[in-house]
Amino acid sequence: MSIAKPLPHDAAVLHVTGQARYVDDVPVPAGCLHLAFGLSDIASGRIVSVNLEAVRASPGVRKVLTAPDLPFANDVSPSAHDEPLLAINRVHYVGQPLFLVVADSHLQARLAARLAQVEIDADQPLLTLDEALAADSRFEDGPRVYGRGDVKDAMCSAPCRLQGQIRIGGQEHFYLEGQAALAVPGEGGDMHVHSSTQHPTEIQHKVADALGQPMHAVRVETRRMGGGFGGKESQGNALAVACAVAAHLMNKPCKMRYDRDDDMIITGKRHDFRIDYDVGFHVDGRIIALDVQQFTRCGWAQDLSLPVADRAMLHADNAYFLPAVRIESHRLKTNTQSATAFRGFGGPQGMLGMERIIDHVAAHLKLDPLRVRERNYYQKEGGLSAPRLQEPQLPPEDVSDPERETRNTTPYGQVVQDFILHDLTNKLVAAADYSDRREAIEAWNSENELLKKGIAFSPVKFGISFTLTHLNQAGALVHVYQDGSIHLNHGGTEMGQGLFQKVAQVAASRFGVGLDSVRITPTDTAKVPNTSATAASSGSDLNGMAVKLACDDIRCRMACHLALLHQCRPDEVRFRDGHVETPGKIYTFAEAAQSAYMGRVSLSATGFYKTPDISWDRIKGKGRPFFYFAYGAAITEVVIDTLTGENRILRADILHDAGASLNPALDRGQIEGGYVQGAGWLTMEELVWDDAGRLKTHAPSTYKIPACSDRPEIFNVTLWDGENKADTIYKSKAVGEPPLMLGMSAFFAISDACAACGANYPDLQAPATPEQIMAAIGRARG
């Protein structure tokens, strides 16, 4: 059985040998043309004139298109139809495409695009959250509010109370393969698009709309991406549509790929947030009331900002029961790149706000933040109340407290039925020797003035499902050929995470054959229609189940055929170890397939799966948006230099819940990579715009991502031993997004080190760059 084996990535050899084929590697037909956008260098203003004569006269240029030249729709928005492919009358951010150059080569197109003479009557852009808030520039009429209980009354009755604020920076996706597309025109108006996208059906829809064709005229194919992280969920629309329109007009193949600088200047980032909080709590750290305001910088177009901001609200509790809570969300419109999906999809920002609140409460009470976290956990699985440490100096709990019986319901009304963080925390704390190390760090800090160490624990409770309910569906197509080889296609896309390998393992296990019998082909809208994006950590859950259902359909037909031949029941036919066993004969799988073929049995099937038991009303903020929760926790130790603000992650210990893992090797890789990416977001990745709205961190030379040397020297990653209680594929759990939030422990470890410099709360802001660390040290010292 192939399930649960730590098998290598299916394309690992192709990756390391350079044979893996990406969009830019697809051999193009003769006469292929290349595209580039001409970009605005003004953040906000009215377009007065655009002189493109020099562009048209540039060597190799075949055509230059502006908005009026587009044959049908001028729209690449995934949601609100507010994002034109090419600007109309006004510009809204530095980097907005104004016109499209079609040339003989990529270099010629890029050089020509810089020759335009554009006059724009600039006005004052809104660049920051504070500016947008002051101008009431937003994407909804007012703030959205979720919550429960009488927060005002509970706050007044709280023995302790704190207010605070944290600013959370955005993040560049920095996928290794940039945005790319290739469109090849066919007969009768058909268009074949190769796209580096997480959402082939979205590309199909937008291209069909731009060409004035039904969706059946457009075929979108995605073999693999060199990373996505959410940045290819909607941001690839512009390239695919541009290529398809140019290919339609020129009747030639057209290709487009962004140079790295252009990619970073044009495309959206993770949403940056400001979170204000007012919290009331007991003297033992238990939260009584919480009032949170989340301010989200969405950029110039709506894109996916509303569901991102919704998920930030849904994860504002993280792992903690909040008796009375009010969560207010402002979705603010600014003259910056349209912020978009990024691994975690708003969840990390919401969680970081909650973890900051816990950290601040613990500092105020001079308690270990770990103990305060434990006291606020949701109800233990199978228990009546969340266990809390009873310490002599703390008052005993009121056993008549009605909250004790209901500490398992989220602010949006979903019952948390599988909360395992109590046991998971205990196991991690013991394995990482947390208590002794904290004491050793305190002793070390008392003897060292220049270098200070810090240690922190942070938990994760992450909801798994698309919050837009209809996206929780997937299809698959499975063929068994007469020689026993298996052809597999599904709606998920491969971006390096190992989805194809996991789904192949599912198919191999259903038929009882080795992985060498299974071939997964590129994601293709002509094979599986109406696919959802590979996002929301749902790739294996959705597509794995769809493939299982298709395989089981074929297996049932084969079993019935062989049962008829051997006069036995179908349930007596066994598929295992490359063979099909009946009471009368043992076949190789190939022989069984040949027999079924000769018996005129269909060996092709589709599978369809929709996530059960979910419902969500985003307007009311009530329902069950998530099928289940994935859990994890991390302990990180760091050291900071108090003279320079530099920091190093010394050690990380992680215990993560992947359910009954489909592939422990791939899941460990996702956990390690997620932690490093999360730590990078919160410690070093800083986006900087100047006062005119120009992105200054637009290349590897100016934007720092974690390198191999930034990973912890000691890096212990362990999978939690337990099945998913929800009925998922082989009882596994999603492992794409949840591990990113484990990196929060690095941020709070740095904050802990800063706190060792003085008596005051350091109020560290994210990302914790050297400048922010020095400022936090100054606040700690007073």
| Rounded distance between C-alpha atoms, residue 495 and residue 506, angstroms | 19
Taking each helix axis from N to C terminus, what angle separates 369-376 and 347-365, rounded to the nearest 10 degrees? 120
The answer to whether the beta carbons of residues 27 and 100 sit under 8 Å apart is: no
| Rounded distance between C-alpha atoms, residue 46 and residue 244, angstroms | 28
Q: Name the CA dihedral angle for 504, 507, 509, 512, rounded to a multiple of 10 degrees.
A: -120
| Rounded distance between C-alpha atoms, residue 305 and residue 312, angstroms | 10
| Rounded distance between C-alpha atoms, residue 677 and residue 706, angstroms | 7
Cis peptide bond prior to 767, omega within 30° of 0:
yes
Active site residues: 737
Residue type at 344 in one-letter notation = G
Q: Is 259 helix (H, G, I), strand (E, B) or coil?
A: coil
Q: Of the candidates 241, 238, 247, which has an alpha carbon nearest to the alpha carbon of residue 184? A: 247
Q: What pairing do the DSSP bridges indicate for beta strands 486-490 and 518-520?
A: parallel
Between the alpha carbon of residue 389 and those of residues 318, 338, 372, the distances in Å are: 20, 46, 9
Alpha helices in 103-198 (DSSP H): 106-113, 129-134, 151-157
The H-or-E segment that residue 147 falls in is strand 144-148
Phi, psi of 169 (to 5 degrees): -75, 165
Q: What is the DSSP string of 617-642?
A: ETTTTEEE--SEEEEEEEEEEEEEET
Alpha helices in 568-626 (DSSP H): 589-598
Q: Structure tokens of 689?
A: 């715009």
Measured distance between the N- and C-terminal CA atoms of the chain, rounded to whole angstroms: 62
- Residues in the chain, how many? 782
| Rounded distance between C-alpha atoms, residue 749 and residue 453, angstroms | 8
| Rounded distance between C-alpha atoms, residue 202 and residue 210, angstroms | 12
| Rounded distance between C-alpha atoms, residue 484 and residue 598, angstroms | 13
| List of residues 6+ apart from 447 with CB closer than 8 A | none
| Rounded distance between C-alpha atoms, residue 115 and residue 106, angstroms | 15
Q: Structure tokens of 38?
A: 């001409």
| List of residues 6+ apart from 107 with CB closer than 8 A | none
Between the alpha carbon of residue 139 and those of residues 186, 272, 770, the distances in Å are: 40, 16, 34
- Which DSSP state fits 504? H
- Name the residue with tokens 């490359």: 578
| Rounded distance between C-alpha atoms, residue 460 and residue 632, angstroms | 5
Alpha helices in 291-384 (DSSP H): 305-314, 347-365, 369-376
Residue type at 43 in one-letter notation = A
Q: Sign of the CA dihedral 195, 196, 202, 207?
A: negative
The answer to whether the beta carbons of residues 44 and 91 sit under 8 Å apart is: yes
The answer to whether the beta carbons of residues 728 and 630 sit under 8 Å apart is: no
Q: Name the CA dihedral angle for 617, 620, 621, 624, rounded to a multiple of 10 degrees.
A: -40
